[in-house]
């Protein structure tokens, strides 16, 4: 265990995250029923992430979701003991390396932005692609190609990106080293009941309904978790990877599970 640590960090710079179809590019969405998620691949060297305490410029190559069978479970982290219905991960690699496969086993190779998702009353237009494309991705290994690009920024808690937790961890791919700089934003976003059900309608390769695709807790060696903001009652970040004990002022870390395939 180690003391919690506040660290002032620069603002994030998210290049092209706010640009939609004007980029004249396309995405590809795939139901990866073997690892259990839906992956949206984006062209590299277009959507870049820097600042926010990251060391270098990282280019986003995909985003994917984890979700539960009901609204009380699904996220791979919790805040103050609260789990969220889903969690969104934007996966990027360090541009000092030529491609993802070269970066994935380097200690500074990857960066993941994590967003908590709650279920609300209104449809979130930023996630309208769930309604539009997931009906075509129910079966494992199905794909939709040539998806007109849409802005990524509205899927983030855009006005409070300065409030986040940071730690160094790993993806759960066999043989993958501790290569991920994790960012978990404190504030959540909302999608509608219909939109979360689009995710829950997907199936694994076995035909079983794809739900609860988040990793259970696995112990790891302790490490430092940083928070970028000061608050009189800074929330606890608990997860499949991190447990923060606010009362004791100590962090105990466990392995984060990020299912990923590129």
For the chain, the structural domain boundaries read 4-227
Q: What is the pLDDT of residues 207-248, one digit of tens each?
A: 999 999 987 644 445 668 889 998 655 566 554 444 433 332
Could you confirm whether domain 4-227 is CATH 3.10.200.10? yes
The predicted structure's pLDDT at residue 113: 97
pLDDT tops 60 at residue 187: yes
The pTM (predicted TM-score) of the whole model is 0.87
Q: What is the pLDDT of residues 22-31, one digit of tens each?
A: 778 999 999 9
The band of 261, judged by pLDDT with boundaries at 50, 70 and 90, is very low
Straight-line distance from the first to the last Cα atom of the chain, in angstroms, rounded to the nearest whole number: 33
The predicted structure's pLDDT at residue 22: 72
Q: What is the pLDDT of residues 92-101, one digit of tens each?
A: 999 999 999 9
The closest of 232, 262, 235 to 251, measured between CA atoms, is 235
Residue 6 β-bridge partners? 227
DSSP symbols for 9-42 = -PPEEEETTT--GGG--EEEEEEETTTTEEEEE-
The predicted structure's pLDDT at residue 233: 56
């Amino acid at each position: 265990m180690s003391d919690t640590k506040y660290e002032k960090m620069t603002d994030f710079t998210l290049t092209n995250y706010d640009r939609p179809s004007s980029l004249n590019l396309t995405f590809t969405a795939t139901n990866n029923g073997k690892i259990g998620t839906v992956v949206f691949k984006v062209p590299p060297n277009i959507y870049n992430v820097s600042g926010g305490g990251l060391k270098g410029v990282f280019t986003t190559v995909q985003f994917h979701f984890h979700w539960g069978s009901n609204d009380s479970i699904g996220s791979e982290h919790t805040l103050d003991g609260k789990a969220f219905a889903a969690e969104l991960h934007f996966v990027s690699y360090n541009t000092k390396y030529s491609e993802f496969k070269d970066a994935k086993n380097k200690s500074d190779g990857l960066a993941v932005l994590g967003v908590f998702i709650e279920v609300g009353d209104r449809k979130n237009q930023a996630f309208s692609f769930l309604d539009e494309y997931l009906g075509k991705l129910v079966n494992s290994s199905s794909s939709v190609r040539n998806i007109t690009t849409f802005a990524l920024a509205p899927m983030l808690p855009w006005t409070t990106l300065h409030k986040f937790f940071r730690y160094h961890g790993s993806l759960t791919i066999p043989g993958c080293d501790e290569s991920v700089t994790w960012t978990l934003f404190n504030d959540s976003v909302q999608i509608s009941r219909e939109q979360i059900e689009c995710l829950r309608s997907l199936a694994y390769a076995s035909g079983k309904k794809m739900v609860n695709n988040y990793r259970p807790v696995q112990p790891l060696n302790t490490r430092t978790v940083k928070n970028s903001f000061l608050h009189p009652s800074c929330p606890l970040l608990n997860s499949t990877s991190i447990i923060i004990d606010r009362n004791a002022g100590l962090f105990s870390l466990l392995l984060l599970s990020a299912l990923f395939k590129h």
